[in-house]
């Protein structure tokens, strides 16, 4: 992700939290990274419930692709939009992370609660 926000995040994170982490990427890892298509794989997730939490402004992972992935999924699904300014805010910046976690925890509570209820009935 050759963007200033990414360089800033990874430089800060490696310096402050992971000093042994390497910025190096192997040539073998580039092809899967550059060619993976979540939209085409979305139907394969079903019947497992799918939650997508995505920022509204993201030039690294376009919101249009999050919407297309949600639309392509065939099982239980939910798409949550968080008002962001860039991709990295959802990594480690409040209030974005807190809002995302709130959505994830609520979703997990509902999904796991539904599974527990159906298991006890059946």
Q: Per-residue pLDDT averaged across 51-69, rounded?
A: 96
DSSP tag of 61: S
The rounded distance, in Å, linking the Cα atoms of 40 and 107 is 24
- Residue indicated by tokens 């490696």: 14
Residue 80's DSSP bridge partners are 53
- 34 versus 53: which is more confidently predicted? 53
Residue 54's DSSP bridge partners are 81
- Residue indicated by tokens 């609520």: 106
* Domains, the chain, ordered by start: 1-36 (no CATH), 39-121 (3.40.50.1820)
pLDDT averaged over every residue in the chain? 91
Do residues 77 and 49 touch, judged by C-beta distance below 8 A?
Answer: yes
Helix, strand, coil shares, percent, the chain, to 5: 55, 10, 35
- 1 versus 78: which is more confidently predicted? 78
pLDDT of the residue at 69: 98
User: Residue 26: pLDDT above 90?
Assistant: no
- And the tokens for 35? 């060619």
Do residues 82 and 100 touch, judged by C-beta distance below 8 A?
Answer: yes
User: Residue 117: pLDDT above 80?
Assistant: no
User: Residue 32: pLDDT above 70?
Assistant: yes
| Residue among 115, 100, 116 nearest 51 (CA) | 100
Q: Per-residue pLDDT averaged across 53-69, rounded?
A: 95
Backbone angles phi, psi at 35, to 5 degrees: -110, -5
Question: What is the tens place of the pLDDT at every residue in 6-16?
Answer: 888 888 888 99
């Amino acid at each position: 992700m050759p963007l200033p926000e990414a360089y800033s995040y990874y430089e800060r994170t490696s310096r402050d939290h992971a000093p042994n982490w390497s910025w190096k990427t192997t040539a073998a890892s580039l092809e899967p990274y550059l060619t993976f298509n979540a939209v085409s794989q979305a139907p394969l997730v079903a019947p497992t419930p799918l939650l997508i939490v995505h920022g509204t402004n993201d030039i690294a992972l376009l919101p249009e692709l999050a919407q297309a992935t949600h639309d392509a999924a065939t099982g239980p699904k939910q798409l949550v939009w968080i008002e962001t300014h860039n991709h990295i805010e959802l990594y480690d910046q409040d209030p974005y992370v807190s809002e995302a976690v709130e959505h994830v925890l609520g979703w997990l509570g509902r999904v796991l609660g539904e599974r527990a209820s159906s298991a006890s009935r059946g």
